[in-house]
A and B are shown apart, each in its own frame.
Chain A
Amino acid sequence: MSNFFKSKFFIILAIVTVVILILMAVSTITTDRANPAGDAVGTVMSPVQRVFRSIGDATGNFFGRFRSNASYREENEQLSARVAQLEEETRELNALRNENERLRGLLSLGETYTEYEMVGARVIAKDPGAWYSAFKIDKGTTSGIRKNDVVMTSAGLVGYVYEVGTTWSNVVSVIDSRSAAGCVIERTGDTAVVEGSVELMNEGNCHLLYLSRDAGVAVGDFVETSGLGGIYPEGLLIGKIKTLSVDSQGLYYEAVVEPAVDFERISEVMVIKTEA
């Protein structure tokens, strides 16, 4: 064992470990841009990730179609080839219509938030771990995106940009366990804090905390950003209250918020250039 500690391998391992620990300490100092190495890797990887994402979409659609056809056959054994063809066309038209609606919705965001400049982007990768809800979009500094820019869909708030590369950005969503935002209940005007949590994140929900016991809120009330906290502008729809309870100390209400955005199926987003 003592030989191991004197070996060249152990010395190199110790040096590498110390260097990484120093880099960890240095990287905690936040910067507006990704480090050059991270930017280079992200720039090279994003087209590949985009291709794989498309493959994943196509595969998912294929199996989804297979499942629906199988159940349909059970109910309608006399289904003719003509009907199947028409159904296929209808599905394609529906897909196009849905995409059209999504894109129209995104465009209408620009009309709603006229004071901000916006950029459309596609989601090309998602953080696969169970602990965080982050994803990568295909626009970066070349499109004018900066750290802390707000990301939305026509349905509501998605999150904010936490790292920017040349042609990509990483976005942390409102349901991520690292995320917290000041919010206001639209109907009553009561303020609170919306916070991500590991348990709720995987259900696509988040927590609402520090809501006064005097607040006259109810399940189904809409929750918007309050503009406090410095990242999100005021009035962006976060979601609606799903369940309401009193916290363990009995001081505040706490609630589960169902975001307006379906984070499982998110594909196109708008980035609001809040600093433009």
Chain B
Amino acid sequence: MRHVWKTLVLLLALVIDSALGSYIGILDISPSFLLVTVIAMAMAGEFAEAGIYGLAAGVLWDLLWGRTFGFYSLLYLYAALGARAFLEMVYKNTPVITAGITFAASLLCEAVLCLVNFTIWGQGNFWYDLFRYIIPTAAYTAIVQMLLFFPITRLSRPKEERGTRL
């Protein structure tokens, strides 16, 4: 049942991103609810589970928007695994730590997208984009993570673990 709910939350995040992204944007900066969900789920679940949900999120994004299938799949898979690996090092899952990891994951994902955009399409000015879009998007996404941390984490952890700290 937990996995059904997690899948539904993942789909909801995808729909919110694509249908409501422009309404919650500030100065053309919108947070990624999908990344927030993926990182929160990765931090609250097992290692393999983190990979599966990261991959699933990326595959869904690729199917909906990706022109090159697999790009977002890899990005989200490794973002989720990276977040989970970091948790192994700190042994602590708090809103601030998860928001920090979300900030880093968003920063990396957006930077990769910017560089790919530059490499393939010859578009973009990395330093301008870094301060105008990449860092603000990462910050906004991290703030959203802090707000949504508890509901997503509670949903993601097995019933027997709920109410306990990691």
Listed in ascending order, the chain A residues whose CB lies under 8 Å from chain B are: 9, 13, 16-17, 20-21, 23-24, 26-28, 35, 37-38, 41-42, 45, 48-50, 52-53, 55-56, 59-60, 124-131, 134, 136, 162-163, 170, 177-178, 196-199, 202, 264
Task: Classify chain B: how many residues form its interface, as a range.
Answer: 35 or more
Listed in ascending order, the chain B residues whose CB lies under 8 Å from chain A are: 11, 14-23, 25, 28-30, 32, 47-48, 51, 55, 60, 62-71, 73-74, 77, 81, 110, 113-114, 117, 121, 123-125, 128-129, 132-133, 137
Residues B51 and A13 in contact, CB atoms below 8 Å apart: yes
Residues A134 and B65 in contact, CB atoms below 8 Å apart: yes
User: In angstroms, how far is the closest chain B Cβ from the Cβ of A32?
Assistant: 14
Known pairs A27-B69, A37-B63, A41-B63; A128 contacts B15 (CB<8 A): no
Interface class of chain B by DSSP: helix
Interface class of chain A by DSSP: helix
User: In angstroms, how far is the closest chain B Cβ from the Cβ of A193?
Assistant: 13
Chain A residues, Cβ within 8 Å of B29:
130
Residues B19 and A23 in contact, CB atoms below 8 Å apart: no
Chain A residues, Cβ within 8 Å of B137:
130
User: In angstroms, how far is the closest chain B Cβ from the Cβ of A25?
Assistant: 9
User: In angstroms, how far is the closest chain B Cβ from the Cβ of A49?
Assistant: 5
Chain B residues, Cβ within 8 Å of A202:
28, 133
Per CB-CB distance, the 5 closest pairs between chain A and chain B, nearest first, are A128-B21, A52-B19, A27-B69, A24-B70, A125-B18
Q: What are 12 residue pairs bridging A and B, where the CB atoms are less than 8 Å apart in the complex?
A: A9-B47, A16-B51, A26-B69, A27-B69, A48-B11, A125-B18, A128-B30, A162-B67, A196-B123, A197-B123, A198-B133, A202-B28
Residues B15 and A177 in contact, CB atoms below 8 Å apart: no
Least CB separation from A63: chain B residue? B23
Central interface residue in A9, A41, A129, A264, by most chain B CB within 10 Å: A129
Residues A24 and B60 in contact, CB atoms below 8 Å apart: no
Known pairs A42-B63, A131-B114; A52 contacts B123 (CB<8 A): no
Residues B23 and A60 in contact, CB atoms below 8 Å apart: yes
